[in-house]
Amino acid sequence: MKHARKFYIDGEWVEPSVSKTLEVIDPSTEQPMGTIALGSAADAEKAVAAARRAFASYSQTSKQERVELLRRILTILKRRNDELGDIISREMGAPLAMARAEQAGIGAAHFEQAIKSFETFAFDYMQGTTRIVHEPVGVVAMITPWNWPINQIACKVAAALATGCTMVLKPSEIAPFNAVLFAEIMDEAGVPKGVFNLVQGDGPTVGAALASHPDVDMVSFTGSTRAGIAVAQAAAPTVKRVHQELGGKSPNIILRSADFPAAVAAGVRRCFGNSGQTCTAPTRMLVPAERMDEAGAIAARQADALVVGPPSDSRTDLGPVASAAQFDKIQALIERGIAEGAELVAGGLGRPSHLNAGYYVRPTVFARVTNQMSIAREEIFGPVLSIIGYDSEDEAIAVANDTPYGLAAYIQGDPKETRALAGKLRSGTVRLNSSGWDSAAPFGGYKQSGNGREYGKFGLHEFTEIKGIVGFLNE
């Protein structure tokens, strides 16, 4: 890749300040697929300085100028969609068709929604004699993950550009090449110099430098709760805004009124999508206790039917997980689930028998799980489902809420019942009856799943400061 060992700073592809590189591993082969430069605090400093200089002029651009910029980016994103999907598939293991349609395609969807929301967003309005103004928050540091890389890059960048912010992006070093392509798209679209900057690197070096930098006004972070705490601590001395989307352990309550076989099957598929590497994955399935055996049998059949294999194979349902560290973590938690007494009904330890290399995980289902077991408490981030029984709806709600997380929740059953229960769940998103994704719905979590919201008009709000000009009509 042409720009893999360079950073995009102040409208130019530049050499890093130090000569340090990292091999990026193809998780399907466990072999290097390329090399990136690793940035330093000095590179972060250069990028922040460029963003700070650019903010003075970009923050004053008109709404029309920004809309036209967003549309140019959208056009190029669509043109390079398959290229983005191909590289995402290789660097984090998503099946190729899914990587093109969903992993890459979601980037264009976010820009489309940002344009739609931006065109109707009220940046200023009167409240009595006071004028209320939404102004850009300033320089934003964006730290993004590897599991849905373009999703998180696009939803942040689109909102920041729309509101007049400038930014420095640090993508995950596990899946960094899609961010290089994204920077090329930004350059081709004519983003003004310094408005968008890209520095590769790891969290303890570049991430920490950005989070603690006094000229960064906001950190928008997506990743684990553990890393989110570190970001918040680094940001605290400068009292900057910290916007976070963190971990999840989402419950999926299947009511007695649900079409039980269909609901269980759909829950398995949704849990295992993207090889389970989705923060909103419904990893805790709550079923009526008297139907535990039936739920386990249905889930096992669904899991056993999934094809695990190379991302390039059109028959593949689940590719590898993204890294050796992720594979080892998942294996350790499967082993702990067995040791703690959960009933293993599908999958288990090790790779599928037909694969002898790659970070492939067997789609795994545990039945008769209690909510105090490790597999029900910890975010596994792999294709592992825990089935928990309940006796009453009140018990189901209590178990669903008994988690430090609160990112998403799911309910399957009679529509009237699901609507009545949705308000009792402590999570940022509640999905009823296998509803699809909504790019305009607020996205973010309660409790240790983070703070703030992304997507649509809610994302625009996050990137603005609110000013009240009191007595505006008294002059």
**Strands 408-412 and 251-254, sheet pairing:** parallel
pLDDT at 475: 59
What is the tens place of the pLDDT at every residue in 146-184?
999 999 999 999 999 999 999 999 999 999 999 999 999
Please identify which of the residues 173, 245, 417, 462 carries the catalytic annotation.
245
3-class secondary structure, 101: helix
Taking residues 454-458, report their average pLDDT: 97
d(CA 85, CA 101): 8
pLDDT at 430: 98
pLDDT at 395: 98
Taking residues 132-144, report their average pLDDT: 98
- Token pair in block for residue 254: 């299947």
**Strands 218-222 and 241-245, sheet pairing:** parallel
pLDDT at 149: 98
The one-character DSSP state at 462 is H
Please identify which of the residues 279, 393, 454, 462 carries the catalytic annotation.
279
- Token pair in block for residue 375: 């597999």
pLDDT at 474: 77
Place of tokens 């890059």: 153
Is the pLDDT at 203 greater than 90, yes or no? yes
Report in angstroms the alpha-carbon separations of 154 from 10, 108, 178, 251, 263.
19, 8, 11, 27, 32
What is the tens place of the pLDDT at every residue in 259-294?
999 999 999 999 999 999 999 999 999 999 999 999
pLDDT at 434: 82
pLDDT band at 1 (very low <50, low <70, confident <90, very high): confident
Taking residues 110-122, report their average pLDDT: 96
d(CA 153, CA 160): 11
Q: Read out DSSP for 262-300? A: HHHHHHHHHHHGGGG--TT---EEEEEGGGHHHHHHHHH
Domains of the chain, first to last: 7-246+449-469 (3.40.605.10), 251-438 (3.40.309.10)
Contact 306, 272 (CB under 8 A): yes
Taking residues 214-230, report their average pLDDT: 97
3-class secondary structure, 195: coil
d(CA 116, CA 376): 39
The dihedrals phi and psi of 125, each to the nearest 5 degrees, come to -160, 165
What is the tens place of the pLDDT at every residue in 49-102?
999 999 999 999 999 999 999 999 999 999 999 999 999 999 999 999 999 999
d(CA 160, CA 191): 12
Is the pLDDT at 8 greater than 70, yes or no? yes
d(CA 450, CA 308): 32
- Find the angle CA(278)-CA(280)-CA(281) to the nearest 5 degrees: 65
* First and final C-alpha spacing in the chain: 59
Q: Return the closest-CA partner of residue 253 out of 267, 265, 271.
A: 267
Q: Establish whether 245 is a catalytic residue.
A: yes
pLDDT at 85: 98
Report in angstroms the alpha-carbon separations of 63 from 120, 194, 466.
11, 19, 17
3-class secondary structure, 472: coil
d(CA 232, CA 43): 21
Q: What is the CA radius of gyration of the chain?
A: 23
Provide the mean pLDDT of the chain. Answer: 97
pLDDT at 450: 96
Is the pLDDT at 253 greater than 80, yes or no? yes
- Token pair in block for residue 237: 């001395």
